[in-house]
Structure 1
Amino acid sequence: MRLTCETAAQLSASVERPGYDRAAQACAIVHFGIGAFHRAHQAAYTDAAMAAGDADWRIIGVSLRSADVAQQLNPQNGFYTLIERSSDTVSARLIGSVASVLVAPENPGAVIDAIASASTHIVSFTVTEKGYVRRADGTLDTDNAALAADLSGGVPRTIYGFVAAGLARRKAAGLPGLTLLSCDNLADNGRQLGTLMRSYLTATDPALADWFAQHCRCPGTMVDRIVPAMTAEDRAWVAGQIGLEDKGAIITEPFTQWVIEDDFAGPRPRWETVGAQLVEDVRPYEAAKLRMLNGAHSALAYLGLDAGHEYVHQVVADPAIRSVIETIMRQEAAATLDQASGIDTTAYADQLLDRFANSALQHKLMQIAMDGSQKIPQRWLEPLAINQAAGRSSPATLQALAAWMRHVRGDVRVVDDPQAAQLAALWQRHGAGSMAAALFGPDGLFGATWQAPPENLEYLVQQLG
């Protein structure tokens, strides 16, 4: 029997229930990219805030492409179970904060209606790095077909087209502005989103761009929770735990962290009462997470795949690769962080290694390896540039970078990356002898973020032979 509003009473007694009347709660958040991470993180915080007494903060999810999540959650009235699992503990919680999921290509008008609704106060995003449609230099990629269609005034296809249409309706109706809340792993994500949104609006509706600047806010955030992709075996295991079939179930680790810049355009849930941190400046937390956790994760993925591993915990148990990961975290990434932030990088690295070793999560390396071209600039290239300017070497990061370059060559594994075709063409044109310069030389694809000195280019060439 499948989980729904009607069958939820039959869940195992061990499953924690929402502590509020879902039917009485209005929707005030529109979330783009309602995948596993959002459901394990922001939706869970919002559920906890409503259980603690906040009212009217339910979420309307939006999928920009696939109908998969809508097919998982809508027949279940938005309900799903969140399982926290470590090597020795398991807990289950029924999440009620999601009202419904809209599939944008099927019903774009409903998405715009939701953004324009007077009850909406926040539009949030977990669309991954590629969802921001940026060039390597951080500007809008106007050559992207979906963005070009939005700029020409067609039916929206990107976050910018949908948000712009909703904001235009709000402005015309005299409604307040919105908080746009990026929860993606982008350096300075709030400011980047604000800059990109203003750039889009300036090109399409300059008056709306001015209104946006006056009435909307884009606070920065740092989000942290390891959320592996679900498998059929995982869902079967969950059904055994909770007593019902749940096609939207999520398995995650017990650890969770959310740091948010306290800069909102209007009302917000009291997320700080359920564990979130509201701060003046997110950037120190964000830099530590991007460079130490995410940088190490990407290194684990490419080095681990090269060594024949499948899961994160297997790579952490491989002494040869673990030593590289520890060097990246404890020395090369840590050296780039602001020491005045007060972050204990030694304790943070210890905590990360313990989390990576959690074999109960079965976190696949191929999941982490996706979209590497969008991730390595902030995870590896910016730290490389900082260390280079300070006269410090980064051999472990370079070793991981070489593994990524071998991965995107595409001759061993399928490359799931928005720039896969461009990277393959560069490999075909340059080969191992000059591929490093094509990527990291003065005119290279990533040269705006990091230009490798000759000795680093020579090292990478040697690793590609």
Structure 2
Amino acid sequence: MTSYTLNQNNLNQISERISVPKYDRSQLKTGIVHIGIGGFHRAHEAYYTDQLLHNTSITEWGICGVALLPSDTNIYNTLKAQDGLYTLMVKEFDGSLTKRVIGSITEILFAPANPMQVIQKMANPEVKIVTLTITEGGYNYNEATKSFDKENPAILYDIANPLAPKTVFGYLTQALKLRKENGNKGFTIQSCDNIQGNGHMTKNMLLSYVQMAEPSLVAWIEAHVSFPNSMVDRITPATSPSDIERLKTEVSIDDAWPVVCEPFKQWVIEDDFVNGRPLWEAVGAQFVEDVVPYEKMKLSLLNAGHTVLGVLGALSGYATIDEAVHDAQISAFLKHYMDTEVTPTLADLEGVDLEAYKASLLQRFGNVNIKDQIDRICSESSAKVPIFVLPTVTTNLETNGSVDFAAFLIAAWAIYSLGKDEKGNDLMIKDAMKATLHDKAVVASNGNPKAFLEIESIFGQLLTSERFVKAYTTAYQNLVKFGIKKSVLNLNTI
């Protein structure tokens, strides 16, 4: 079978093998600029938009993908060479593979090479929405001060170099300034990141930056820009060489960076758009007045559950999430954590079958075809733990609820941060705070477990809670004395 490289010119031939866009991509206008064109965006928002373009005759909602960071060079070059096209590979529970080419990304820009091109694109009046997947750590939020980190060198650089920014805040500010100067409407900024109140967070962080960089713009943004909250969900592991090879072997399509994901997907959005929006609800998205109950449930169960499986699984020597969830003791720990510590904090979930949702999570985590790498799940834990885990801890400390399982998780994270699993193998730790985490973990391992909780930008004032510190110290000492398997077993039987 002849092999075809994925690009616009080869779509007709490729269409004989798998589904491809049936709409005329050349007629699409760019209505959406998306910053952060990684796997999740391409499995989620770009997928929903592709389905909508198939189902309607609209032409105003093409996506321009922006590669924001120098480290995004590879994804930019790949998508540029493929005309924005990529294959979405859905790994079904039965092991089968559903494949389709997604065509909603019609432009690709590389911000570090041409910052003004990105600013001008977002300032174009055809653009009505800017969406973000910049990771939890991309919002420049300091957990200790509960505010924008004004001392971040990248932020100070953007203020000094407004037309050649490095951060998302610098780009958004200059694009909105240009729209105001040109007499154009504002746009909607929609976060698609795993942060509770992600719209509120985006607004607060952007306005904090604008107050420093362009204070005269604050009132205009307040009046002409909206920041809807949203909840996003689709497990999207990193693409592996075997995924690329499988696509080539099964259908002779040469795609340098396909996206793999689970079949489940969910997108819940506040209907607060200042300049029009796609009818995403026609292809499965939900528009609601209040996203908070949905996102609180998802962040504290799915995302925190991933963190539990990641940290405990890593220490146990597992490589993938499905391996960890099929460990009976780790699975039991996760169930206890969800039932005992998370569920009591989720009192406002009308119309949601919480027990069914928790059961579905265990099934999704256990999908042996996904093979989500534990290294990926544990990456940037310093940004994830304050968002996924600590709000549950705070609530339970206020209501005298259990904190034993969360304390055990934090203790395990402290040991994980030493960089070795229990078999002595090196752990691949990717975290902006890796050095700090390791330094504090070393102090903790030398007879002072509480030292790890001294990282104020992560834990805030948690060190002042005697009850949490006691539970954490006990867990840490048990982990050191008995190891992860026996310590988990002992906690599960309490």
- TM-score surpassing 0.5? yes
1:248-305 CA-partner distances (Å, limit 9, x unpaired): 3111111100000111111111001100000001010000000000011000001001
1:100 positional shift: 2.4
Separation in structure 2 between the aligned mates of residue 460 and residue 148 of structure 1, nearest angstrom: 41
Q: In the alignment, which residue of structure 2 is the partner of 1:114?
A: 121
The one-letter code matched in structure 1 to 2:191 is S
Q: In the alignment, which residue of structure 2 is the partner of 1:152?
A: 160
1:31 aligned residue (31, 34, 56): 34
Q: CA RMSD in A?
A: 1.8
Does residue 434 of structure 2 align to residue 420 of structure 1?
yes
Q: In the alignment, which residue of structure 2 is the partner of 1:446?
A: 459
Q: In the alignment, which residue of structure 2 is the partner of 1:142?
A: 150
Contact preservation (8 Å) 1:432, 1:464:
no
2:86 aligned residue (80, 88, 91): 80
Separation in structure 2 between the aligned mates of residue 358 and residue 279 of structure 1, nearest angstrom: 30
1:462 positional shift: 1.4
Q: In the alignment, which residue of structure 2 is the partner of 1:133?
A: 140
Q: Pick closer, same or farther for the CA change 1:349–1:266 going to 2, 3 Å.
A: same
Q: In the alignment, which residue of structure 2 is the partner of 1:282?
A: 291
Q: In the alignment, which residue of structure 1 is the partner of 2:474?
A: 459
Contact preservation (8 Å) 2:414, 2:441:
no
Contact preservation (8 Å) 1:28, 1:121:
yes
3-state DSSP of counterpart to 2:108: strand
Q: In the alignment, which residue of structure 1 is the partner of 2:64?
A: 60
Q: In the alignment, which residue of structure 1 is the partner of 2:404?
A: 395
3-state DSSP of counterpart to 2:282: helix
Q: In the alignment, which residue of structure 2 is the partner of 1:173?
A: 182
Equivalenced residue count is 464
Separation in structure 2 between the aligned mates of residue 235 and residue 103 of structure 1, nearest angstrom: 24
Does residue 448 of structure 2 align to residue 434 of structure 1?
yes
Normalised by the length of structure 2, the TM-score is 0.90
3-state DSSP of counterpart to 2:428: coil
Q: More displaced, 170-179 or 17-26? A: 17-26
The one-letter code matched in structure 2 to 1:92 is K
Contact preservation (8 Å) 2:440, 2:451:
no
Contact preservation (8 Å) 2:294, 2:349:
no
3-state DSSP of counterpart to 1:67: helix
Contact preservation (8 Å) 1:28, 1:122:
yes
Separation in structure 2 between the aligned mates of residue 385 and residue 337 of structure 1, nearest angstrom: 13
2:243 aligned residue (234, 259, 284): 234
3-state DSSP of counterpart to 1:69: helix
2:8 aligned residue (5, 14, 27): 5
Separation in structure 1 between the aligned mates of residue 329 and residue 398 of structure 2, nearest angstrom: 29
Contact preservation (8 Å) 1:385, 1:451:
no
The one-letter code matched in structure 1 to 2:74 is D
Separation in structure 1 between the aligned mates of residue 36 and residue 462 of structure 2, nearest angstrom: 27
Does residue 231 of structure 2 align to residue 216 of structure 1?
no
Which runs of 5 or more residues in structure 1 are unaligned? Answer: none
Q: In the alignment, which residue of structure 2 is the partner of 1:406?
A: 415
Separation in structure 2 between the aligned mates of residue 464 and residue 97 of structure 1, nearest angstrom: 49
Contact preservation (8 Å) 1:82, 1:93:
yes
Normalised by the length of structure 1, the TM-score is 0.95
Separation in structure 1 between the aligned mates of residue 221 and residue 449 of structure 2, nearest angstrom: 42
Give the share of equivalent positions with the same residue, in percent. Answer: 34
Separation in structure 2 between the aligned mates of residue 175 and residue 38 of structure 1, nearest angstrom: 27
1:241 positional shift: 3.0
3-state DSSP of counterpart to 2:254: coil
1:434 positional shift: 3.1
Q: Pick closer, same or farther for the CA change 1:449–1:119 going to 2, 3 Å.
A: farther
Separation in structure 1 between the aligned mates of residue 85 and residue 156 of structure 2, nearest angstrom: 36
2:386 aligned residue (377, 381, 384): 377
Q: More displaced, 163-172 or 420-429? A: 420-429
Contact preservation (8 Å) 1:260, 1:276:
yes
Contact preservation (8 Å) 2:63, 2:107:
yes
Contact preservation (8 Å) 2:444, 2:451:
no
Separation in structure 2 between the aligned mates of residue 107 and residue 335 of structure 1, nearest angstrom: 50
Separation in structure 2 between the aligned mates of residue 7 and residue 242 of structure 1, nearest angstrom: 14
3-state DSSP of counterpart to 2:417: helix
1:135 positional shift: 1.3
Runs of 4+ deviating beyond 6 Å: none
Contact preservation (8 Å) 1:31, 1:59:
yes
1:429 positional shift: 4.9
1:99 positional shift: 1.1
1:384 positional shift: 1.0
